[in-house]
Structure 1
């Protein structure tokens, strides 16, 4: 599926198949997944739905429809359903038999875009479905094709959230739509045995609740079960721009065909839990709900606590299974998702742990007592999904990746997790890319306040002991984030390593996955390198650090910097979308904590800016506005510092489009290579990035000043 590459380049990475998590069939013999592949030759993307034979690792593609996505199993056999986006913006539900590829049919079509498909089998031939979509003010499904163009382009707002992430807030709201896929009988149609979509409706109509929560909420914000749906939503009584408070809700839908929905019931209220919530899931018997809840309102990186709702259909009660007397919980890790084991007697947790995304199991029988902690099932790599290996098995089917492997499917036994069986590895443990796990190692040192700080070190595949290599120092975003042993097509350390760099990716205090106390702390990582050929790169909070470093002595240790979507002036953070970020991290709003805001403002030190820097900022970034990048670039130019400004009018806080990402990688790599004496990065036609620069100059002749770098 992936041709062996002589060298891991941006083109190789961006054109390699991107394979999503796989879901096993009820009998555990097959697994279904989606993948996409981009070609720079045709400048187009191909979407595919594949079926993996778990017994022999062979794959069969059952759909090459570029508009198909989100496949899942129906019932107890091999029938599957997926979503297909139509040219007019509508969405069709496509049914096929994975054991008989080549045949499919449409069960129904809804009048607009929907996504995040979830299903629950009510009985044979009847499957409840839930999807997410945008709803108009009257509750109907929004479709761009039906939108009337106004005579005026004016926008008027009377409350916060004028913009969010990469769009202006409109009258449409994210909501959950439900329905039923039901098989027909001979008495109803001449084509019995086919599913038909029935009873499609807005389950949240009239509730004033929004779920999934924008901008990143998806299938992890709701679930569908035997008695209805459960979901998390922002508390409607608080302003979402300055609060993170969420609630758990349940809608009793014993009959998914019944038109209209009861009023949502708020569940799971525990004293002191006023923060964000996510990952609600029904237990296998439908009598309980597990979800994740934070305590602190306004702190999006607070610890996720596990909360259980017992007997919610009767007298519902809530409990925290890992509670402790101090309120911090008996386990110091923060799960990022939660699921039930097949028998309903344990929870399966995906959790960051020391630079990895690991899987844990929390046994609930007997009920957890003081000091009770989950059992670790995986070490290394990054788990992205876990599902039962079959409908009646204790085994788990795990989808994961790592710094050198883009996708691996594995089966483990929670009783004996060491002897895992690899079912399929898309890139052969990295070897398809010329990469190897031997390139990756860990570093530890003492940081601020005597904290032990961890970093990933990635060497070139051609590394030879005794030879000298330039250093690429990567600073992650957040600051409550982490560099993990995980695959990425945006900031992939191996891309830089294969240019000839030793890459250091540190997780200093403030990083996630090392305990909540470490995340809540603040401090600098400390000096860990001594080299005359070093460059530093960072995005978001990492971009803030690039601007901060520019004004301080640390900049003298670097030949060049790369600042992607960084903060130039903290006062400009009043124009961000989710204002709780700066308010929390700086201890309060500007008018109450002006000294703190000024103390940590990079723009105070622009008189010291002298290190060459590439500034990148895109126009749809409403988290850190375009003016921040322009201000930094303007200062550099006015001071006569070698600098370049790269911008994309159609990208947000991230550069996601393959053609744009290709330019991004060439510009970034050739910028830093120039200053450490490495050769230019060439594309597969043997061209460097000069052609991209020439094209940009022809379109925007003053936007990319000539500095002799192309």
Structure 2
């Protein structure tokens, strides 16, 4: 960014250049990354590949880097990457920067692969040769699948005879994700070549990475072979989260047939596994695994495989404790090895942040990292390169010196680089952010609840401001000190609101017991936590005008909007915004991952011998107890409802039902939908409409001028017949729903 924003608006948020995680060279001198920028005047996005020289902070732009991705350094001066081609093909490219020069050489094509390819990983095999692995879809026969060249059918019909007919925003197909491998040769006549690409999972019945969000965090490669995670093929993925770790030796010379993957068995751990990583020597490995099947937010336990070459390789738990008691009550989300292979580096949420920890000799030590760490890379020197963000900075890179960091929790980074000058270019600063701690509804699991408070940049303590309460989704999630282009607290604060974002019961990063406490408790303790936060703000923040309060939430936060509508707190808000929320718990039976409501609501909503054996049923079922549609008679607060057509997690009927009730009751309401979006609104033009519509709605109901004119919103406004509000039409029979 070269121009400082005068005011942080949704358009500034969405047009601010977005950096990928940085990929440093082994010595840390160069960092590769991509930058994508959306231009609302041209209605188009541009993507560039950048090379940052960390010695002088000079940034160079790679020519023809618009479709480049998945950068992997082969040496300090040579790197490989993937490049998208026409008709669904992908090229494996090589580019170098000759030592002693300031110019990049022209990249060249090593191999053109006739399919969409992603998630490139490379391991040194010695003698300047490398083993490469990437992911791509495969056909039933185990061959590469290119959807652009697949035969077209004359009918759009799809016939299913088992669960899991669709996932996230796509209908399931016979194709599956596979891992493919080949050997990259040493240069000959200045160019490298690639051996035949082979499907490592062919005939195994396994699929990896796990869709829809699995990537390089689901596999790793070494000179010895491949380690990866895959769903248990004997269990239906709609009912189970169980995934296992597999080790597959690879003969990179291709002289022998490929062996079958060996499953790593861990007694008592039947949940999801992720983040398998080889040590630098390739002789050890580590990964994360959960105990409980069907529970996505169970605590991740660290496992280490000390000897992959043993006759029977085994895994040992780290910091696990005994029974249900954990030595370290945090749940890591990612894992890596230090350069010497003696310690582990893990990222774990902690009280509104995602910190980097070193695990050495079975003891955790927190390293200094601001905000939320999103990616970690180890350099050959032993230094650590991290990518991350904060609530005011959309991207930072930093080097951490392990020797200094191991001596203190506050050891500063030895080099950093911010995309937005720590928010200054956006008109934001960290002084706008503070925290409050309020009494928890259930002191047995946590005595206090943490909330972020975000004030406008032009905040004047002599004035009062309307309050926007943001409720996060999950429900096992959290508002962290991280940047977001979907629910950005600064956007609402800069519209003249004091933003309060509570991490209520069920939130992650405050101990596993606090996370687990939301089970079968959706409208109980979390709701009371919000009431406590609301009361605290009204009593202790005089600048916060609770008489002009609004509430907004998405997913579980949307459920909470619908729940609050039927509860006393709902009458304290001027308006609410419900994005892709749950209207009726019964309709959760239409979700794709059925294990989610079965776990969170305590089993099936019916009783049979078969279901009782799998999920215990209670007469006081949470399915009925926490159903927002059971309290429709109390709904009275104006609400904006947003729901998207491709949301298969919570189908659009949920949003339509809520809007229909509001309209039938004569409650002021609007319905916004995007037929081409899923559970999120990701396309920049759609996101701008989302922001304009939401901000206009909440500003109107707290007495502020519109943020944008209706005709500027870029949304097709549909008129309709007005429904009289219940009880207002005297002399006529009141209509009820």
TM value normalised by structure 2: 0.90
Aligned with residue 159 of structure 1, among 138, 158, 162: 162
Answering whether residue 91 of structure 2 is matched by residue 92 of structure 1, we say yes
- Mapped to 2, the partners of 1:243 and 1:234 lie a distance apart of 9
Summarize deviations over 1:562-615 as a string: whole Å, max 9, x none: 000000011100000100110000111111446321111000111111111111
Flag the 1:701–1:111 CA change in 2: closer, same or farther, 3 A: farther
Task: Trace 1:315-464 onto structure 2 (pairs within 5 A).
Answer: 315=311, 316-364=313-361, 368=362, 373-388=363-378, 390-391=379-380, 393-417=381-405, 418-450=411-443, 451=446, 452-464=448-460
Summarize deviations over 1:641-675 as a string: whole Å, max 9, x none: 11111111111000001111010110111110100
Aligned with residue 172 of structure 1, among 167, 171, 175: 175
- Mapped to 2, the partners of 1:152 and 1:614 lie a distance apart of 38
Which residue does 1:548 correspond to in 2? 563
TM value normalised by structure 1: 0.93
- Mapped to 2, the partners of 1:47 and 1:257 lie a distance apart of 38
Flag the 1:256–1:644 CA change in 2: closer, same or farther, 3 A: farther
Flag the 1:314–1:351 CA change in 2: closer, same or farther, 3 A: same
Flag the 1:259–1:52 CA change in 2: closer, same or farther, 3 A: farther
Flag the 1:240–1:2 CA change in 2: closer, same or farther, 3 A: farther
Aligned with residue 510 of structure 2, among 506, 511, 514: 514
- Mapped to 2, the partners of 1:675 and 1:306 lie a distance apart of 49
Task: Trace 1:73-222 onto structure 2 (pairs within 5 A).
Answer: 73-74=73-74, 76-98=75-97, 100-101=103-104, 103-185=106-188, 192-222=189-219
Which residue does 1:528 correspond to in 2? 533
Which residue does 2:522 correspond to in 1? none
- Report if the CA contact (8 A) 1:456-1:506 is conserved: yes
- Mapped to 2, the partners of 1:91 and 1:271 lie a distance apart of 41
- Mapped to 2, the partners of 1:703 and 1:650 lie a distance apart of 27
- Report if the CA contact (8 A) 1:203-1:260 is conserved: no
- Report if the CA contact (8 A) 1:136-1:171 is conserved: yes
Which residue does 1:685 correspond to in 2? none
- Mapped to 2, the partners of 1:502 and 1:51 lie a distance apart of 39
User: How far 1:150 sits from its partner (Å)?
Assistant: 1.4
- Report if the CA contact (8 A) 2:240-2:294 is conserved: yes
Summarize deviations over 1:15-53 as a string: whole Å, max 9, x none: 111101112212221111122111111111111111111
Unaligned 5+ segments in structure 1 are: 186-191, 683-687
- Mapped to 1, the partners of 2:449 and 2:277 lie a distance apart of 35
- Mapped to 2, the partners of 1:104 and 1:378 lie a distance apart of 38
Flag the 1:177–1:258 CA change in 2: closer, same or farther, 3 A: farther
Summarize deviations over 1:109-131 as a string: whole Å, max 9, x none: 11111111111121243221111
- Mapped to 2, the partners of 1:177 and 1:703 lie a distance apart of 57
- Mapped to 1, the partners of 2:574 and 2:632 lie a distance apart of 18
Query: Secondary structure of 1:80's match?
Result: strand
Number of residue pairs aligned between Structure 1 and Structure 2: 682
Query: Secondary structure of 2:474's match?
Result: coil
Unaligned 5+ segments in structure 2 are: 406-410, 519-524, 539-545, 608-616, 726-737
- Mapped to 1, the partners of 2:354 and 2:253 lie a distance apart of 36
- Report if the CA contact (8 A) 2:226-2:249 is conserved: yes
- Mapped to 1, the partners of 2:67 and 2:214 lie a distance apart of 22
What is the root-mean-square deviation in Å for CA atoms of aligned residues? 1.8
Summarize deviations over 1:43-67 as a string: whole Å, max 9, x none: 1111111111111222111145332
Task: Trace 1:208-247 onto structure 2 (pairs within 5 A).
Answer: 208-247=205-244
User: How far 1:145 sits from its partner (Å)?
Assistant: 1.8
- Mapped to 1, the partners of 2:263 and 2:652 lie a distance apart of 40
- Report if the CA contact (8 A) 1:351-1:513 is conserved: yes
User: How far 1:184 sits from its partner (Å)?
Assistant: 4.1
Which residue does 2:60 correspond to in 1? 60
Task: Trace 1:592-611 onto structure 2 (pairs within 5 A).
Answer: 592=607, 593=617, 595-611=621-637
User: How far 1:181 sits from its partner (Å)?
Assistant: 2.1
Answering whether residue 716 of structure 2 is matched by residue 696 of structure 1, we say yes
Which residue does 1:474 correspond to in 2? 470
Flag the 1:137–1:705 CA change in 2: closer, same or farther, 3 A: farther
